[in-house]
Chain A
Amino acid sequence: MDFQFKHKKISGILTILPHKSVTFEDEMANFNFSPAKSMKLKIAMGYKEHRLAEIGQTSVDFCIYGLQYLFDSGLLSKEDIDAILFVSQSPDYFMPASSNIIQGHFGIKQDCLCMDINQGCAGFEVGLIQSFMLLEQPSINKVILLNADVLSPKVSPKDRNSRPLTGDAAAITIVEKCEEENTIYANIKMDGTGALVLNIPAGGFRLPSSPETAIMEEDAAGNFRSKDNLVMQGDEVFNFVQREVPPMIEHLYKQSGVNREDVDWYMFHQPNKFMLNKLADKLGVPREKMPANIVENFGNASGVTVPTCISYNLGEQLCNQEMLLCMAGFGVGLTWSSIMMKVGNLKFNKIIEF
């Protein structure tokens, strides 16, 4: 499904990372593999360290901390917020929506649309597209897009497939109307037949958490996890990404009329370095144009990897100039989405720690 928008822009990105950093070596003893094998995995996947929230900290806490920072620094005014989108898989409650909690915490005006979106790895793109759609309304001039996930409590410490790449983080993106004519091109595809390829089996209404769902079991590859834990069918995800993402980007080139070499940066979701490098090669994009340094330094915080990648790699630079970005996210849902747009002259683009 294709989308096109005009007179919309990103005006600021703030990434909030946990201060706690854990190295791959710190956790190696938890895995049921020889150190030599684990080190091989580390090199291939690009694992170094990842950021994890403290026990008790939630996605909402990270968003509140970041918003407070923006209010205190005069970078965002509470009165200007017309919509709050909270894109996450780790809400505080089943009910109410976390966006309402955040609105209430700050006493943001009642003329404000609060909406939670359950999305993961493509959450930044889906969130942006939803923000652009909301901005079509005369009454909405500024949307606060919150991408946040603190999923580490749901990942088994003995799961070598998922644990080393897990990261917790949040990002606040300000999306608003503008005068410029620049067209934004975007697309989304979904395939619910693969809905359980990335999944937390227990804890919802279908299978409530119980002592039975907390029992740890070993899988064929030697990982231990319970039904309360996140489970990822790595091979299915790999095959899905290699099959669907290259044609999606080829389609985006056609849709936008942009040549691959005219793109300044490819800011893609980062499952791991291995997969991202394969993707760059398959697309014929130089690896230096597709940064793959987020998982190794901070971990994969699903929908937050793309804004983190923009803040970390472009930082201040993006406050003084404009660049053509090709952004893409792919994962849980299954969902895959990409956006071609100019981003620049931002009011802020940085990382803070919580």
Chain B
Amino acid sequence: MKELLGQLAEILEVEDIDITKKFTDYDEFDSLAALTILAMLDSDYNKTMKTSTIREYESIEAFCKDVLA
């Protein structure tokens, strides 16, 4: 999970990710950030998701659990 959080921190341009927050709580989360997350999921985790799904996650923790499941 640490590696995934590091990648998310880079995309969202923050030092640390607060896993209790939603993606939409972060200022840098926009359509480009969402697309960058999709690309990362595809290349590094072999996962496919819709941006609306990413946007709707109750917490980043829940998102990470699904990705790493």
Given known pairs A220-B52, A235-B50, A243-B48, the reply for A44 and B42 (CB within 8 Å) is no
- 12 A-B pairs within 8 Å (CB atoms) are namely A44-B36, A221-B30, A222-B30, A235-B34, A236-B50, A238-B35, A238-B39, A239-B49, A242-B39, A274-B39, A278-B39, A281-B43
Interface of B toward A, CB cutoff 8 Å? 30-32, 34-36, 38-39, 42-43, 48-52, 55
CA–CA, A220 and B30, complex, Å: 10
A161 at the interface (CB under 8 A from B): yes
Known A-B contacts A235-B50, A235-B51, A236-B50; the reply to A33 vs B30 at CB < 8 A is yes
- A221-272 contacts to B (CB < 8 Å): 221-222, 234-236, 238-239, 242-243
Closest to B51 in A: A235
Give bound CA distance, A161 to B31, whole Å. 8
- Nearest CB on A from B37, distance (A): 10
Chain A contact residues: helix, strand, loop or mixed: helix
CB neighbours (8 Å) of B55 from chain A are 220
Shortest CB-to-CB span from B55 to chain A, Å, is: 7
Cα A160 to Cα B35 with chains together (Å): 14
Instruction: Verify if A206 is at the interface (C-beta below 8 Å from B).
Output: no
Given A160-B31, A234-B35, A243-B48, 7 extra CB contacts under 8 A: A33-B30, A37-B32, A222-B30, A235-B34, A242-B39, A278-B43, A282-B43
Complex-state Cα separation, A220 to B34, whole angstroms: 12
Known: A234-B51, A235-B51. A242 touches B42 (CB 8 A): yes
Residue of B nearest to A241 (CB): B42
Whether the Cβ atoms of B35 and A235 lie closer than 8 Å is yes
The answer, yes or no, to whether A40 is at the interface (CB within 8 Å) is yes
Chain A: CB-nearest residue to B13: A40
CB-CB nearest 9 A-B residue pairs? A235-B51, A221-B31, A41-B32, A242-B42, A239-B48, A235-B50, A278-B39, A238-B38, A235-B38
Instruction: State which of B30, B35, B42 has its C-beta within 8 Å of the C-beta of A274.
Output: B35
B58 CB to nearest A CB, Å: 17
Please state if B48 and A40 are interface contacts (CB–CB under 8 Å): no
Residues of A within 8 A of B32 (CB): 37, 40-41, 44-45
In the docked arrangement, what's the CA distance between A33 and B30, Å?
10
Within the assembled complex, what's the spacing in Å between the Cα atoms of A220 and B52?
Answer: 9
Chain B residues in 8 Å Cβ range of A45: 32
A36 to B: closest C-beta gap in Å: 10
Chain A residue numbers with a CB within 8 Å of B48 are 239, 242-243
